[in-house]
Amino acid sequence: MNIEYIEQLKNVSKLDNGRIGTKGANLGEMMKAGFPVPEGFVVVVDAYRRFISDNKIDVCIEQFLHTLNCDDYEKVVSASHEMQNLFIQGKIPFDIVDQIDRAYGQIGYSEVAVRSSAAAEDLPDTSFAGQYETYLNVIGKDELYNAIKKCWASLWNDRALYYRLKNRILGVELAQGIAVQRLINSEKSGVMFTANPINSRRDQAIVNASWGLGEAIVDGDVTPDQWIVDKKKRIIVDEIIADKEVMTARKQNGIELVLVPKDKVKQATLCHKGVLDLLEFGVNLEKHFGCPQDIEWAFYKGKFYIVQSRPITSLFPLLEPENNDDRLHIYINFLMSNQATHETLTPLGEDMWRRALISIIFNRKNREKCSGWIKSAAGRLFIDVTEFSRIEKGWDKLLNNPSDMDPTTTKAMLQVIKRDIDELSAQRKPLYKIVPGLLVKLNPSLIKFMVTSVPKVLYGILSPPEKSIYKAFEYGNK
């Protein structure tokens, strides 16, 4: 049978994910959408399956999987090394080699980047980012064939194998595609997150950059420059220029870490215009894929290139404000704010608490309108405390008397207030504008309870502690 084991990147899209792997599909999708992606081709997952079948590697993998579990890490590592050796020793079938050779010739047998493109690279509850291999500055046919086999083998490296065992993602049917692209000899490169992964803010993007090829950042060999950008206002809100001592550079075949020239160690890798130009790519990629993106980029001879884009899987579910405005909103986990309950709620528990809180706080007329004050995410209930967070006296209470709130929540609230104090203050409304509107919405029974409680609270404050305790016991006995 005349089977096609190679696809040109320009001819594939995200619809081909199962056939060529996630990374290759995303690269093709971006190329079709007009983003600056280096040209290249993809070795489809059927080539991997043919390779392991012809070399009897699939039988060995199945035997290994029957004997492994995540409780014995040393055995997992040993089995991983044996499996990877089988790939290195295996021979790529001649017809696949011939197709790879022809595709390689179409980009002039130039220096290439060889990237793993797993069919199950990023699932909703799991992420394999960084677990599979990439080889840069691969030159010549033999080196290309070896890099492809090493990428196939990385599907079974010890870290990926252990992760899959732990998450019960097993099976010899797993497959790996390979993306082969013309290498961009980056003057500078980096990573961009179109949402802030540190605080989960979707209105902020983070750009990291360093000199040379991107492996130094990905492997953690260098601390990159960093910019936090307001996506809506298109302004930089924070900038950190790091001392970049090393960078990844090309050598005769492959890459190596070298020292950064002294005059560039403290120099910013990007000007502000460059950061904002990158942001435009990020915003458009997020819009195209429909979710926040983790993007790898490169810069060469005055032009940015996008070499990878994938979903950010570490973000906490987004809580949409009740009125969907553009203002900063702060939510706290209701059961952590006072009850210090760490466990998630069942759907029934969520519904019970939601109905109870809304019924207690709001009158019948406003219960449905104010239901957006409480949000559900990840099995927890969150309440909007934005207006309370704007009150300066509340800041002092959090700082000096946090005993009535869970310590972790208190610490988080103080960090958020300190970080966003200017924004919170700018959006503050006078109390005379907040209180009347709030009183109209409140449950009359709650208002009555609050009013009748004032004398009791004052009495508790003014009475000596000992008498208050004794009277409490007396009241309890009665």
* Same domain (yes/no): 54, 139: yes
* Same domain (yes/no): 95, 223: no
Alpha-carbon gap, residue 285 to 135, rounded angstroms? 25
**pLDDT (average), residues 399-417:** 71
What does the pLDDT read at residue 163? 85
Q: Where are the beta strands (DSSP E) in 84-186?
A: 112-118, 122-123, 126-127, 134-138, 176-182
Indicate the average pLDDT of the chain.
84
* Same domain (yes/no): 369, 297: no
- pLDDT(463) > 60: yes
* Same domain (yes/no): 69, 206: no
What does the pLDDT read at residue 364? 73
Q: Specify the number of domains making up the chain.
A: 3
176 touches 155 (CB < 8 A): yes
What does the pLDDT read at residue 465? 57
DSSP 401: -
What does the pLDDT read at residue 472? 46
What does the pLDDT read at residue 257? 92
Give the end of a domain, one of 311, 343, 359.
311
Percent of the chain clearing pLDDT 90 (strictly above) = 49
* Same domain (yes/no): 352, 259: no
The packing angle between helices 45-54 and 141-153, to 10°, is: 90
* Same domain (yes/no): 337, 304: no
- For residue 141, give the CATH number of its domain: 3.30.1490.20
Q: Given pLDDT bands bounded at 50, 70 and 90, which one contains residue 161?
A: confident
Least confident segment among 167-176, 234-243, 397-406: 397-406
Q: In angstroms, how far is CA 202 from the centroid of its own chain? A: 11
What does the pLDDT read at residue 475? 46
Pairing of strands 380-384, 374-377: antiparallel
- pLDDT(413) > 70: yes
Residue 23 placed within a domain: yes
- pLDDT(460) > 60: yes
**pLDDT (average), residues 397-408:** 65
Largest CA distance in the chain: 94
SS3 annotation, 206-267: EEEEEEEECHHHHCCCCCCEEEEEECCCCEEEEEECCCCCEEEEECCCCEEEEECCHHHHCC
**pLDDT (average), residues 237-254:** 93
Q: In angstroms, how far is CA 143 from the centroid of its own chain? A: 33
What does the pLDDT read at residue 107? 93
Higher-pLDDT residue of 441, 217: 217
**pLDDT (average), residues 92-111:** 95
Residue 262 placed within a domain: yes
* Same domain (yes/no): 241, 147: no
Give the end of a domain, one of 182, 204, 239.
182
Give the end of a domain, one of 182, 209, 226.
182
pTM of the model: 0.77
* Same domain (yes/no): 344, 244: no
pLDDT in tens, 187-232: 999 999 999 988 888 899 999 999 999 999 988 899 999 999 999 9
Q: Given pLDDT bands bounded at 50, 70 and 90, which one contains residue 442?
A: confident
Least confident segment among 29-43, 260-274, 438-452: 438-452
What does the pLDDT read at residue 82? 93
Residue 249 placed within a domain: yes
What does the pLDDT read at residue 223? 94
The packing angle between helices 141-153 and 94-106, to 10°, is: 120
List residues bridging with 300 in a β-sheet. Answer: 303
- For residue 219, give the CATH number of its domain: 3.30.470.20
Least confident segment among 378-382, 385-389, 437-441: 437-441
- pLDDT(125) > 60: no
Residue 476 placed within a domain: no
What does the pLDDT read at residue 130? 58
Q: Which domain holds residue 418?
A: 331-442
**pLDDT (average), residues 422-446:** 68
Close Cβ partners of 78 (under 8 Å, ≥ 6 residues apart): none
What does the pLDDT read at residue 69? 81
Q: How is residue 119 written in tokens?
A: 């069919």
Residue 115 placed within a domain: yes
* Same domain (yes/no): 195, 175: no
Alpha-carbon gap, residue 156 to 151, rounded angstroms? 10
Higher-pLDDT residue of 76, 114: 114
Q: Given pLDDT bands bounded at 50, 70 and 90, which one contains residue 469?
A: very low
What does the pLDDT read at residue 361? 77
Alpha-carbon gap, residue 370 to 354, rounded angstroms? 11
List residues bridging with 259 in a β-sheet. Answer: 246
Residue 324 placed within a domain: no
What does the pLDDT read at residue 81? 94
Q: How is residue 375 written in tokens?
A: 């949000």
Residue 94 placed within a domain: yes
Please say whether the dihedral angle defined by the alpha carbons of residues 98, 306, 33 and 24, taken in this order, is positive or negative: positive
Alpha helices in 323-464 (DSSP H): 334-337, 347-361, 386-389, 392-400, 407-419, 421-426, 431-441, 444-462
- pLDDT(305) > 50: yes
Residue 468 placed within a domain: no
- pLDDT(335) > 80: no
Tokens 């010739």 correspond to: 105
* Same domain (yes/no): 124, 218: no
* Same domain (yes/no): 196, 160: no
What does the pLDDT read at residue 400? 66
* Same domain (yes/no): 37, 149: yes
